[in-house]
A and B are shown apart, each in its own frame.
Chain A
Amino acid sequence: MSENRIAVTKTYKLYIGGAFPRSESGRSYPVVDANGGFLANAAQGSRKDARDAVAAARKAFAGWSGATAYNRGQVLFRVAEVLEGRREQFAAEVAACEGVPAKKAQSLVDAAIDRWVWYAGWTDKVATVLGASNPVAGPYFSFSVPEPTGVVAVLAPQESSLLGLISVVAPVIATGNTAVVVTSQDRPLPAVTLSEVLATSDLPGGVVNVLTGRTAEIAPWLASHADVNALDLTGAPESARADLERAAAGTVKRVLRARPAEDFTGEPGLARLRAFLETKTVWHPIGV
């Protein structure tokens, strides 16, 4: 091969319902590296794209939440396998987007893959750890199980383009929720590549939907959407957080008010899993 070979560049698109459309608005915006150099154009998602993504997430919810925990665990582990195969590509994109040295980028990618494996293992343990048999004072069997909240709108961290992204997406879908993810606005490329991994890892279409674009433009439509059950504010612009919470109140959404971790490499704990779970308590009489 010639050393002067011209590379095939990629068109970075949205990921909705398992397909890769451009924004229906026809808009795109330039993504630049840490030094201001042009990397690519990303699709600039619109209100209509957000609504399409919510519809896709809702459609996928019954199947994904109804899958066995073992099955979800295997699918998520498969995602980690495919991530592993793309280590180099992710490292290059993280280095370009975040402006970190290659070695640091590689360690962030490795941590992201390991994070995904960690959450994949939680799918069939959450009910054991968070569920209960309730010793009620009467002749009844009562038990409580955690169940997914539904469709979760996730505003991904703005800085940590892959590890941060995975740290907020994996806990949402591990428990059976489906997600509409708004990526880091200025560092969206690893997220788009992640969506290519998801599309080729047996994850049903619509379980994760990925929107690139202006967070402040897309987020209000998700916060007020009646078919969104919960909202993760992690990557929300500081100035928009209160308004987004107010909009979310219109349909009593669960709001995770977390801010991005300064360092996403630490052990995450259960908080993000719990944030998008409901507890269902079931009673039945005991008798002969």
Chain B
Amino acid sequence: MWEYAPAPESRDIANLKPNYRMFIDGQFVEGAGDPLKTVNPGTEEVLAEVSTAGQADVDKAVKAARRAYERVWGRMPGAERAKYIFRIARLIQERARELAVLESLDNGKPIKESRDVDVPTAAAHFFYHAGWADKLGYAGYGPDPRPLGVVGQVIPWNFPLLMAAWKIAPALATGNTVVIKPAETTPLTALVLAEIIQQADLPPGVVNILAGAGDVGAAVVSHPDVDKVAFTGSTEVGKIIQRQLAGTGRRLTLELGGKAANIVFDDAPLDQAVEGIVNGIFFNQGHVCCAGSRLLVQESVADELLEKLHVRVSTLRVGDPLDKNTDVGAINSREQLTKIQELVESGDAEGAERWTSACPLPDKGFYFAPTVFSNVSQAMRIAREEIFGPVLSVLTFRTPDEAVAKANNTPYGLSAGIWTEKGSRILWAAQKMRAGVVWANTFNRFDPTAPFGGYQESGFGREGGRTGLEAYLDV
């Protein structure tokens, strides 16, 4: 095996500041909450101190958003809104390298992913939705579909900037104003996005970005003057929010957890499938709601596939997120690491067979070596619960019908994977999956033009495409 010399990206590019402030009504302001310290999960060092919101700050942000909606943004012609949103897309592209390094510092994801996926896809989301702003009458929701008003959004830590883009871009394009709260452990890129929004000269109050923990998120989603809530996160919290909004008439879309099946049929191109399986579960350390965390392999090829998989996973380089050769970066937080460890222990206790990559791990920081469980049965926790880490559970099947039944045997329904050379089987299996996104002979592909979202307890509503506009329109 080739040795790789370190190839670190410079952390100076991130323009890291000692303090970050929240963005309300076009201004960077201190909040009344206790400041939080955001940590580099790759080293456990404190990166910066971030001001957080108190209830009064949430009120202020919602008021600013309401004012901006009523006086400016809600009545601005779509063609004018579009140009503001195009500006945001361009500014993200111009500051792409800075954002990528900052994202890897704050989140722990490998720089090659933040550089090649998160940041460019975030820019693409703004670019795509900017074009919709003056074409909404052609979107199939009537000649002049109206916005909802003030939108409260709460996003997770796994794709901090990208999730902000997924939320803000369609809301703005449809004429809504935004109060958004990034995750407690990853607030930095959203606050740089606030700078970009300021540089783009968006009218004050159109986008407000608050920092803080779950209590701030709860204050945003339960604020009585918020017309619509969009949440991405765990199914557990999604249910709480759905309960909170019951009877209020406020709109809601949810993008929640998953436990995706990745099905490998016996005629699949195994080497290609191995790459897809690795991408499916080890991309972003497995911190992906649509991760292919349940591998379903046809029994006749299971041994061969598992052997190839072990060889391939052994070559994954785990370590410094800023190193351009790193494949798997740091787990986002100690809390998440503990959760992964606990679920892995349950796999051991319930009798699954654990294989862990012998890769070296850094001494400091939150890391977890890529792990593959075989001999997993459907009743085990590692086959049912979302682990949200670099841990794959392998189950087997004999017939296509059995594969479908096992794949759908979950309350979730976000994504699924299918590996086979047979076209008719791909379309058959894709039709049978009760999941919102089906990747055939590929995995973890995202694009602003392709609607994304779940069935069942993976949430409701879609993000992206024409379909995604519905979440922000009064239709």
Contacts and interface: CB of A to CB of B under 8 A. Distances in A.
A136 B445 contact: yes
A181 B451 CA distance: 31
A137 interface: yes
A279 B471 CA distance: 13
Nearest to B453: A279
A274 interface: yes
Given A249-B239, A251-B457, A252-B239, A134 B438 contact: no
Interface string B235-267: 100110011011101000010100000000000
Interface stretch (A2-10, A40-48, A239-247): A239-247
B441 interface: yes
Given A252-B254, A274-B470, A281-B437, A140 B445 contact: yes
A51 interface: no
A229 interface: yes
B246 A246 contact: yes
B72 to A, nearest CB: 29
Nearest to B426: A284
Contacts of B93: none
B5 to A, nearest CB: 31
A252 B438 contact: no
Contacts of A34: none
A37 interface: no
**Residue from A226, A243, A283 whose CB has the most chain B CB atoms within 10 Å:** A283
A252 B445 contact: no
A257 B445 CA distance: 34
A254 B460 contact: yes
Contacts of B460: 252, 254
B441 A136 contact: no
A252 B243 contact: no
A249 B441 contact: no
A285 interface: yes
A39 interface: no
Interface residues of A, number: 40
Contacts of A28: none
A189 to B, nearest CB: 31
B246 A284 contact: no
A279 B436 contact: yes
B465 A144 contact: yes
B465 A252 contact: no
B32 to A, nearest CB: 31
A103 interface: no
A285 B430 contact: no
B466 interface: yes
A279 B440 contact: no
A288 interface: no
A281 B457 contact: no
Given A249-B239, A283-B445, A136 B438 contact: no
A67 interface: no
Interface in A265-288: 269-271, 274, 278-285
A136 B449 contact: yes
A136 B448 CA distance: 8
B442 A283 contact: yes
A278 B239 contact: no
A249 B242 contact: yes
B447 A136 contact: yes
A144 B238 CA distance: 25
Given A130-B140, A252-B256, A284-B440, A138 B467 contact: no
Contact of B436 (A140, A250, A278): A278
Residue picked from B435, B442, B452, most chain A C-beta under 10 Å: B442
A130 B139 CA distance: 10
A36 interface: no
A129 B249 CA distance: 28
B149 to A, nearest CB: 17
A165 B110 CA distance: 55
A201 interface: no
Nearest to A244: B246
A79 B104 CA distance: 60
A132 interface: yes
Most buried by B among A138, A249, A285: A249
Interface of A: 129-130, 132, 134-138, 140, 142, 144, 149-150, 226, 229, 241-246, 248-252, 254, 257, 269-271, 274, 278-285
Given A283-B439, A283-B445, 19 more contacts: A132-B451, A142-B447, A142-B449, A144-B450, A144-B467, A149-B455, A245-B245, A246-B243, A246-B247, A248-B246, A250-B239, A251-B457, A252-B238, A252-B256, A280-B436, A281-B436, A281-B452, A284-B440, A284-B442
Across the A-B interface, give the 5 residue pairs with the lowest CB-CB distance, nearest first: A242-B247, A245-B246, A249-B242, A136-B447, A134-B450
